[in-house]
Amino acid sequence: MTVSAAIHRHVRTIVNGFDEPSRSRMRMKMRHDRAAARDLRTAQADAAVRHTYHEFIVGRHLQRMGFSPEYNRPIAGKTPDWFDAETRLLVEVFSVDGGTTDASSRVISRMAKKLLRYAPTVRAESLSFVIALHGDPFGTFTQNQLAEVLKSCDLFAGNKDLSGVLFVDRPVEPAQQLAHRSFTYLTNPHATRPMSRSLASA
Q: What is the pTM of this model?
A: 0.89
* Number of domain units in the chain: 1
Starting at the earlier edge strand, list the strands of the sheet with 70-71.
70-71, 82-84, 89-95, 128-134, 164-169, 182-187
Q: Residue 40: is its pLDDT beyond 80?
A: no
Q: Is residue 52 part of a domain?
A: yes
Q: Is residue 99 part of a domain?
A: yes
Structural domain boundaries enclosing 128: 3-187
DSSP string, 14-68: HHHTS-TTHHHHHHHHHHHHHHHHHHH--HHHHHHHHHHHHHHHHHHHHHHTT--
Q: Is residue 9 part of a domain?
A: yes
Q: Is residue 79 part of a domain?
A: yes
Q: Is residue 194 part of a domain?
A: no
pLDDT value, residue 41: 75
DSSP reduced 3-state for 71: strand
Helical (H) or strand (E) element with 116: helix 103-125
Q: Is residue 167 part of a domain?
A: yes
pLDDT value, residue 2: 47
Q: How many Å is the maximal CA-CA distance in the chain?
A: 48
Q: Is residue 201 part of a domain?
A: no
Q: Is residue 193 part of a domain?
A: no
CATH code assigned at 126: 3.40.1350.120
pLDDT digits (tens, 9 = 90+) for 132-186: 998 876 667 888 889 998 988 889 999 999 999 999 986 555 445 555 688 999 9
Q: Residue 88: is its pLDDT beyond 70?
A: yes
